[in-house]
Amino acid sequence: MASGEQRLGQLAQQTSTLSLHESPSPLANLPQEIIAEVLARLPVECLLRFRCVSKSWLALISTHHFVNTHLHVCKNKHESSRNRLFLIASFSGLGKICSISSIVPENSSPTLVELSRFSKSPCRSPRILGSCNGLLCLSTVHFKLILWNPSTRKSREFPDSFIQTKSGCYIRYGFGYDERTNDYKVVKMFSFEKNGGRHENIVKAYSLRANSWTMMSGFSSAYIYGKCGVFLNGAIHWEIRDTDSWDIVALDLGTERYRTMALPRAENGKFYWTLGVSRGCLLACCFYYPKRTHLWVMKEYGVAESWTKVVSFTLSDHHRGYITVLHMSENGEEVLLKLGTQLAVYNSRNGSFKHVECVASPRTIEVQSATYDESLALLDIGHDREN
What type of residue is 124? Answer: R
Do residues 53 and 93 share a domain? Answer: no
In terms of domains, do 30 and 137 share one?
Answer: no
Contact (Cβ atoms closer than 8 angstroms) between residue 262 and residue 247:
yes
Compute CA distances 32 → 18, 61, 181, whole Å: 19, 12, 27
Contacts of 293 (CB under 8 A, 6+ apart): 285, 286, 287, 311, 312, 313, 314, 315, 323
Predicted pLDDT at 273: 94
pLDDT for position 329: 83
pTM listed for this prediction: 0.87
Among 101-105, 159-163, 168-172, name the one with the lowest average pLDDT. 101-105
Please answer whether residues 330 and 107 qualify as being in contact, where contact means their C-beta atoms are separated by less than 8 angstroms. no
Q: Are residues 14 and 93 in the same domain?
A: no
Domain check: are 180 and 231 in the same one?
yes
Higher pLDDT, 267 or 233: 233
| Residue 29 identity | N
Backbone φ and ψ for 296, nearest 5 degrees, come out as -115, 150
- Look at 42-51, 88-97, 334-343, 346-355 and tell me which has the smallest mean pLDDT: 88-97
Average pLDDT over residues 76-105: 72
Is 330 domain-assigned?
A: yes
Domain assignment present for residue 73? The answer is: no
Secondary structure of 280-294 in HEC code, one letter for each residue: CEEEEEEEECCCEEE
Q: Are strands 257-262 and 245-252 parallel, antiparallel or unpaired?
A: antiparallel
pLDDT per residue as tens digits for the range 65-77: 999 899 888 877 6
Q: Are residues 95 and 138 in the same domain?
A: yes
Cα dihedral: 220, 221, 223, 225 (round 10): -110
Statement to judge: residues 236 and 188 lie in one domain: yes
The CATH number linked to 361 is 2.120.10.30
Pair 198, 221: CB distance under 8 Å: yes
Residue 266 lies in a domain: yes
37 and 88, same domain (yes or no): no
Q: How many domains does the chain have?
A: 2
* Percent of the chain predicted with pLDDT > 90: 39
Q: Residue 203: which residues within 8 A CB-CB, separation 6 or more? A: 187, 188, 189, 190, 215, 216, 217, 218, 219, 251
Is there a domain that residue 382 lies in? no
Mean pLDDT of 295-310: 95
Quick check: 161 pLDDT over 90? Answer: yes
The Cα-based distances of 282 to 14, 285, 307, 308 in angstroms read 42, 10, 9, 11
Q: Does one domain contain both 57 and 175?
A: no
DSSP class of residue 305 equals G
Residue 386 resides in a domain: no
| Shared-domain flag, residues 36 and 103 | no
Going through 226-322 in order, the beta strands assigned E by DSSP cover: 230-232, 235-242, 245-252, 257-262, 271-278, 281-288, 292-298, 307-314
Q: Measured between alpha carbons, how far is 344 from 356 in angstroms, rounded to an integer?
A: 5
Residue 67 φ then ψ, to 5°: -60, -45
If asked whether residues 147 and 247 sit together in one domain, one would say: yes
d(CA 288, CA 295): 11
User: Could you tell me the CA-to-CA distances from 162 to 144, 216, 244, 274, 318 in Å, in that order?
Assistant: 11, 14, 31, 27, 41
Across the beta sheet with 199-207, the strand order is 169-178, 183-193, 199-207, 212-221
Residue 318: pLDDT band with limits 50, 70, 90: low
Cα of 203 vs its chain's centroid, Å: 22
Torsion angle, alpha carbons of 335, 338, 343, 349, to 10:
-20
Q: Categorize the per-residue pLDDT at 229 as very low, low, confident or very high, splitting at 50, 70 and 90.
A: very high
- Residues 304 and 334 reside in one and the same domain: yes
In-domain check, residue 78: no
Domain that holds residue 284: 83-373
Q: Are residues 261 and 138 in the same domain?
A: yes
For all residues of the chain together, what is the average pLDDT?
Answer: 83
| 192, 197, 203, 229, 279 from 171: Cα distances, Å | 9, 17, 10, 12, 29
